[in-house]
Structure 1
Amino acid sequence: MTGRHGHGRLSASRLRRPRTYLTLALFSVVALLTGLVAWFGTPSSGDGEDPPAPSANDLPADAATGEVTGGACAPSATLVPPCGAWWGAYVPYAENGSLKDAVYAFEKKIGRKLDLLYTYHDMSNNKLDGQLLTPDEQILGRDRMLMLAWESTVWREPRHANYTEDQLGWAKVASGAYDREIIDPQARRIKAYGKRVFFSFDQEVDARVGDAGTPGEYVAAYRHIHDRFEELGVDNVVWVWTVSGFLQSGELFRQLYPGDDYVDWIGMDQYNYFTCHDTTDWKDFDRSQRPTYDWLRTHISAEKPVMLAEFATVPDPADADRQREWYEEIPEVVRTMKGARALVHWNRAVPGEGCDLTVNDGPGLEGYRTAGQDDYFKQPVPGR
């Protein structure tokens, strides 16, 4: 999320029926409706009552609840699903300011609950954009995994509306200048949450070099945040290091890598832009993802799992079916990318003509919905 984006109705019967049958019928209807609501994402405590909504002022409640996932397909300590891949998305807030409403509406469209919800924050420390684990995130995280992307910037507009921001600078982050004011309070919020979360510091980092500092300063800042979290006892973070994936920056990727001891997952953000940004080359899903995936596995780590941390395609104005087919081929292709264990769709249009990357309707939605029903993306989501 950097400048790169600038870069059935029931009929009543007149016949009287025995009370028992009426009660059973009503019970069945209620059960059906309850099941549908749960399927599309409304959290439930399991005892018929929803937990109270989190307070914006308090530390998050411990969300590490439920049974520990077991069996051959249970995810690892760093949330790697051995039998398939997570199905996730970034979903922008609804017009009413609710992330919950936006996510529930999106899940209703795609016919399934997301495994992983990707959200973005700045370092303003304010409750709108700079607070990790907002009340909505805590509610959504009850039965989904969260991926928190933390940017070393202060956004000039709420929720980064037009992608304008002010950099804090990696050197100052590394120096500890922001520890007490910014880093420590947010670290304590994650610790209190308890449940494991994916965490990315300055995703698409290669696009920030220069404005935020040098590669060496980034590595120092990343390691400082990692070590500071450890000092504060934050042990429920799965660390994701994310680059844009443009291979012209391959040497830069090497310089920006914090090291195997500091990274659990490697993230990459690649798209089929086609008409967006004055490009003309249509890349199918395989050709849009595999070159960067292969490069990272060869030159950075062959062992770390890979997250397609942002991916999407714009439609082809001349061929409406092309977008649907792009998404439909994902399950077959990703099975041949054995290290790719999480796919996160970017469901937001970005600035520029022809840059609609959403799957909110039409052939794009059809293809994305079909892909998400594949068994490869139906892995047991941990509750802690």
Structure 2
Amino acid sequence: MRRRSLLGLSALAALPLAGCKTYRSDETPPPIESPATSPSSPGGGTVPDPGGKVMLGAYTQLKGLSTAEGIALRERQLGRPERIVHRFYSWTDTLPVSLSYVTSRSTVMMSWRGPGYQQVTNGSADKLIARAARRLAERKVPTLLRWAWDMNRKAVSENAASYVPAYRRIHKIFQDEGAENVSWVWSPNWNSYPDEDWNAWTRYYPGDGYVDWAGVSGYADGQTPGDMFDQFYETYAARKPIMITEVSAVDRGGSTKPDWITAFHAWVKTRPAVGAVVWFDTDTHPGSTEKWRIDSTAASLKAYQAMSADPVFTG
């Protein structure tokens, strides 16, 4: 389901870019690692897999409320803070060192929009990337970074052959700049568009050494959780902790949405490699009239509260 034209939250600040390292643009990236030979990194990196538990969080942006007010409302409704606070940023945004509405009880996940991948691989964006890396390093706390999400739903010119070296280049620059607190979330959509072999999400996987969390997003419109996520789970669960990075369901009236939340709750509980779930909790999405928020109806909120209260979802 096409649903995203989210813009960043701030304009590019006039910060100096001098003094950055030089990164070679003519380096040939190593071949994409195969499942049989690629080395595994520790599960979750600096944001570790909770091991049999699930970190339940959300992107929360509610009509008529500030971000802080929306997050506070959810804490009252659920009886606890969001375990992951998800925010979106454009490519040229200055990534935040701190967010006033996020306490030490929550981990931030930043979804950072990608440009045309050639802007990364040709070296022209190295200074911008290095500045972003230094900003996140300055945070000094574990931070989830989800770069160029849903890469399998883009134009034909933006494909795996250009995505993988771009992802790896950004990863290297972050390492060189000392952003060791970053936990890397690779995150395609559950269904590719166009649905062609060259655009399959497996082709975009940059390799185990570059990924801490294997994430997948999906918005249900008649599909079961298994329809959407089983194949991804079966592909990566033995290699990486799994994160459902964006999820919600279209409300088709009656009990359709709370029933889907209940089914999703059950699906996650029987998939022990799922270590995090991040709901798309909003009714302000540009161009969409769908109320993705968890309390769009009283029954939906009750189903979500039941999931949140489950001891498994206390990671």
Q: Following the alignment from structure 1 to structure 2, what is the Cα–Cα distance between the partners of residues 237 and 259?
A: 17
| Alpha-carbon distance, 1:224 to partner | 0.6
Aligned to 1:116: 84
For residue 111 of structure 2, give the secondary structure of its aligned residue in structure 1: strand
Give the TM-score taking structure 1 as reference length: 0.65
Match of 1:357 among 289, 292, 312: 292
Out of 250, 255, 270, the residue aligned to residue 203 of structure 2 is 255
1:230-279 deviations in Å (ceiling 9; x for gaps): 01111011111101111645652122111111111111111222xxxxxx
Q: What is the number of equivalent residue pairs in this alignment?
A: 276
CA separation in 2, counterparts of 1:314 and 1:291? 15
Q: Check conservation: 2:184, 2:212, Cα contact below 8 A.
A: yes
2:281 to 331, 337, 347: 347
What corresponds to 1:326 in structure 2? 260
1:115–1:339: structure 2 CA closer, same or farther, 3 Å change rule? Answer: same
Counterpart residue identity of residue 122, structure 2: S
Q: Which has the higher contact order (CA 8 A, sep 6+)?
A: 2
Output aligned runs, 1:216-255, within 5 Å: 216-246=161-191, 248=195, 252-255=200-203
Please state whether the residue corresponding to 1:221 is helix, strand or coil.
helix
Q: Percent identity?
A: 23
2:68 matched residue in structure 1: 100
Aligned match for 2:94, one of 90, 106, 131? 131
Letter in 2 for 1:106: R
Equivalent position SS for 1:82: coil
Letter in structure 2 aligned against 1:325: D
How many Å apart are 1:119 and its aligned residue? 0.8
SS of 2:292 mapped into structure 1: coil
- Say which structure is richer in helix: 1
Work out whether residues 172 and 178 of structure 1, in 8 Å CA contact, stay in contact via their aligned partners in 2. Answer: yes
Cα distance in 2 between the residues matched to 1:93 and 1:184: 33
Q: Which residue of 2 aligns with 1:307?
A: 243
Give the 3-state SS of the residue equivalent to 1:87 in structure 2. strand
Where does the alignment leave 5 or more consecutive residues of structure 1 unmatched? 8-55, 59-74, 125-129, 153-167, 274-281, 380-384
Instruction: Give 5+ residue unaligned stretches, structure 2.
Output: 6-12, 16-43
Mapped contact 2:54–2:277 kept (Cα < 8 A): yes
- SS of residue in 1 equivalent to 2:52: coil
Give the one of 133, 136, 141 matched to 1:187: 133
Cα 1:325–1:254 change in 2 (3 A) is closer
**Who is 1:70 aligned against?**
none
Q: How does 1:361-376 map to 2 (within 5 A)?
A: 361-362=296-297, 363-376=299-312
Give the 3 Å change call, closer, same or farther, for CA 134–234 of structure 1 in structure 2: closer
Is 1:254–1:300's contact at 8 Å kept on the other side of the alignment? no
Over residues 4-54 of structure 1, what are the superposed CA-to-partner deviations in whole Å (9 max), with x where a residue is unaligned? 2169xxxxxxxxxxxxxxxxxxxxxxxxxxxxxxxxxxxxxxxxxxxxxxx
SS of alignment partner, residue 359 of structure 1: coil
Equivalent-residue separation in structure 2 for 1:346 and 1:143 (angstroms)? 20
Asked if the contact 2:60/2:280 (under 8 Å) is kept, the reply is: yes
- Tell me: CA distance 1:235–1:330, structure 2 relative to 1, closer, same or farther (3 Å): same
Q: Kindly report the root-mean-square deviation, in angstroms, between the aligned alpha carbons of the 2 structures.
A: 2.8
Query: What secondary structure is seen at the aligned counterpart in 2 of 1:195?
Result: coil
Contact between 1:331 and 1:374, CA under 8 Å: does it hold in 2?
no
